Amino acid sequence: MDTADAPRSHPDTVVPPLRPDIRLEEAEKAGEKVYVLVDPRFERRVRLDRRGRDVVALLDRAQPFHALLDRIAMTGTPMTPEALHRVLDAFAGLGLLDGSVSDEDPLRRTAPDGSADPVPLLIPEDLRFTCTGCGSCCLGVNVGPVGEAVAQGVRDRMADLDPETVPGKAPFFTMVPDGEEDEVLVCQSRNGACLFLDPDGLCRIHRRLGAPAKPLVCRLFPYRFVWTPDGVLVGLQTECRDILRASLGRPVREQEADLREVLALLSKIPRVRPHLSLDGETTFSYSDYLTLEREILAAVDAAAGRGGWAMLLAANRVLLARCRPAADTGPKAGDLRVEFYSLLRDVGETLMRLKDRYYEEGGRIRFHTENLDMAVEALRDAPLFARTVLSDEEGESSRFARLVLSNFWRSREEAFGPPDLVTAASELAFAWFLARAVAVSRVRQVHRRVPDPRDLVDAWVLTHMLLRNHRVHDSLQAFRDRVRHVFVHRLGDVIAGRADLEQTNPQTDFYLF
């Protein structure tokens, strides 16, 4: 188990027990005992060495650090305090100890090390963004949550916002977001766009009342913040539909004052874990991740001129080189076509069942399922256009692919979300495949041969929003192992065999209208 040193506790510090929902499994592999902690909360498996297993067996209650040392010594194989500290640091970093995982993560106003100095902002040198005022982020989504103070400020000044622009609708309504229990306020819409979006693509609240009067979510987009041991890392969400132009704008480093103003308003932001899982078995320290990230980004940059699939393959090679060799338990090479299309079919059918479960028609609410519908249609079309979907991009489309991949890894929030980094890489590759499939499917409907850069950006935003939907995400977890196998371990075979994967519709095409 690889761990990083951390500040040491006093000998009388109480060590919490293992979380009660975690279980220890023992198995035999190649004639050796293998010990694995199964963590159902984060859907991961943490492989232990013999010493880690010995400690786990004694984490049955809260106890002083020195008492745990004594109990370990009584087993006949004592540990030094330093060695025990390293094991406990790793367990705590992975959230395995009772009380080490909290649903609330309040943003401390001081740096992670407890200092009162301003928190360092970690902004990549080449990160650029200037809003172009396209207004696309205000369409096709429920804009919120809106804080009560902001909502009341808007209500109090509706006369300044020209009430005739909101006929028959209050400015806000309540809804329960996916995965939540409490109601939140969101902005009303008009013809699929935020009620406060003006025809020129600008926000009427911002224009009439100033930026501080806008909902926080609007002020925050497209920036994202993540606590790290070195400061707050700044990244971009890649859901801006004009990101090809916007990413050529001002360096984000020059916008630090504005970022700090928004950061001060956040009640909580995600934190990186001090330890994480590489492949479901190998524990990985955060410092090790930084080294891996640099290698992945270097590989992505080296392949950037060859398109998105080339970059994904390059990143996967770096990642897999760090993983433990494992027996291939997936389908054999000759079954690739069957495996690939059965996965796409099963995902499509699951998404259709999800729509049937939640979709309702009529009443005063207009339900939108366009993103899901286009994804299902693209999965159905994928066999017909596999060669195009699995081909690499050029020019601006390739630059967009690099933006997506670079921001995924260096923003860290999405890479650290899944149970391990290999799973994260597979989810990224599957999302890219689905985006490519959506783009190709849509342009074929208007009788164009291949997508242009804007088509690809629109398809990526659609796909990304769909896959992070709580209901969709939970429904697709059943395919996690299959997605890992196809989109990480066998991705090279898929790309190399794209011509063989393409199918031809046996029906005769007749264009009636």
Summarised one tens digit per residue, pLDDT across range 380-421 is 999 999 999 999 988 999 999 999 999 999 988 888 888 889
Would you say residue 323 has pLDDT above 90?
no
Do residues 20 and 128 share a domain? no
What confidence category does residue 106 fall into, taking pLDDT thresholds of 50, 70 and 90? Answer: very low
Neighbour-count burial of 60, counting CB atoms closer than 10 A to its CB (0-12 exposed, 13-18 middle, 19+ buried): exposed
The predicted model scores a pTM of 0.79
pLDDT of residue 332: 52
508 occurs within a structural domain: no
pLDDT at 164 over 50: yes
- Rounded to 5 degrees, what are φ and ψ at 44? -140, 165
Residue 164 to residues 153, 187, 215, 396: CA-CA distances in angstroms? 18, 16, 21, 41
Residue ending a domain, choose from 263, 296, 325: 263
Residue 3 maps to a domain: no
Q: Which domain holds residue 159?
A: 121-263
Verify that 350 and 327 share a domain, yes or no.
yes
pLDDT at 362 over 60: no
pLDDT in the model for residue 327: 44
Residue 423 and residue 415 in contact, taking contact as beta carbons nearer than 8 Å: no
Q: Which helix (H) or strand (E) holds 351?
A: helix 336-358
Q: What is the pLDDT confidence band of residue 32, given thresholds at 50, 70 and 90?
A: confident
Mean pLDDT of the chain: 84
Work out the percent of the chain whose per-residue pLDDT is above 90.
38
Please report which confidence band the pLDDT of residue 124 belongs to, taking 50, 70 and 90 as the band edges.
Answer: very high
**pLDDT for the residue 356:** 85
The whole-number pLDDT of residue 263 equals 87
Is residue 506 in some structural domain?
no
> Is the pLDDT assigned to residue 513 strictly greater than 50?
yes
pLDDT at position 177:
61
Domain-located, residue 288: yes
What is the length of the chain?
Answer: 513
The CA distance from 372 to 388, in Å, is 22
Same domain, 393 and 459: yes
| pLDDT for residue 396 | 94
pLDDT tens for 427-455 read 999 999 999 999 999 999 899 988 999 99
Tokens 């190709």 belong to residue: 440
* Res. 173: pLDDT tops 90: no
Q: Which of 71-85, 170-184, 448-462 has the lowest mean pLDDT?
A: 170-184
Residue that is last in its domain, among 234, 263, 292: 263
Residue 439 has what pLDDT?
96
pLDDT value of residue 3 = 34
Q: Is 211 exposed, middle or buried (0-12, 13-18, 19+ CB in 10 A)?
A: middle
Same domain, 320 and 359: yes
d(C-alpha 236, C-alpha 105), whole Å: 21
Judgement on whether residues 163 and 72 belong to the same structural domain of the protein: no
Average confidence (pLDDT) over 185-212: 87
Same domain (yes/no): 331, 242: no
- Confirm whether 509 is domain-assigned: no
Residue 291 pLDDT grade (very low, low, confident, very high; cuts 50, 70, 90): very high
Residue 483 above 90 pLDDT?
yes
Highest-scoring range by mean pLDDT, 50-64, 132-146, 244-258: 244-258
Per-residue three-class SS string for 95-135: CCECCCCCCCCECCCCCCCCCCCCCCEECCCCCECCCCCCC
pLDDT, position 117:
59
Q: Do residues 429 and 491 touch, judged by C-beta distance below 8 A?
A: yes
Q: What is the mean pLDDT of residues 92-107?
A: 59
**Which among 165, 252, 154, 171 is positioned nearest to 212, based on CA atoms?**
154
Strands 63-64 and 14-15: antiparallel
pLDDT of residue 11: 54
Which of 420, 424, 426, 417 has its CA nearest to residue 277? 420
pLDDT of residue 5 exceeding 70, the answer is no
Query: Where does the pLDDT of residue 277 fall: very low under 50, low under 70, confident under 90, or very high at 90 and above?
Result: confident
Whether 424 and 485 share a structural domain: yes
Identify the weakest region by mean pLDDT among 16-25, 109-118, 170-179, 215-224: 109-118
Residue 8 resides in a domain? no
Distance CA 121, CA 257 (A): 10
Q: How far apart are CA 311 and CA 392, in angstroms?
A: 9
Which of the four pLDDT bands, split at 50, 70 and 90, describes residue 146?
confident
For the ranges 32-41, 112-121, 246-255, the lowest mean pLDDT is seen at: 112-121
109 band by pLDDT with thresholds 50, 70 and 90 = very low
Please determine, for residue 215, whether its predicted confidence score (pLDDT) is greater than 70. yes
Based on the fold, state whether residues 175 and 242 are members of the same structural domain: yes
What is the average pLDDT across 361-378? 82
Domain count, the chain: 3
- Residues 126, 163, single domain; the answer is yes
Q: Is residue 69 part of a domain?
A: yes
52 and 129 part of one domain: no
Q: CA–CA separation, 235 vs 405, rounded Å? A: 12
DSSP H or E stretch at residue 204: helix 204-209
Among 263, 298, 316, which residue terminates a domain? 263
Is the pLDDT at 2 greater than 60? The verdict is no
Helix axes 395-411, 453-467, angle to 10 degrees: 30
Element (H, E) at 193: strand 193-194
For residue 114, being part of any structural domain is answered with no
Separation between Cα atoms, residue 53 and residue 73, nearest integer Å: 14
pLDDT interval class at 299 (50, 70, 90) = very high
**233 falls in which pLDDT band (50, 70, 90)?**
very high
Instruction: Verify that 156 and 292 share a domain, yes or no.
Output: no
Residue 112: predicted pLDDT: 47
Same-domain pairing of 470 and 437:
yes
Residue 234 above 90 pLDDT? Answer: yes
Q: Which residue has the higher pLDDT, 368 or 376?
A: 376
Sorted by sequence, the CB contacts under 8 Å of residue 122 that are 6+ apart come out as 228, 230, 231, 232, 233, 234
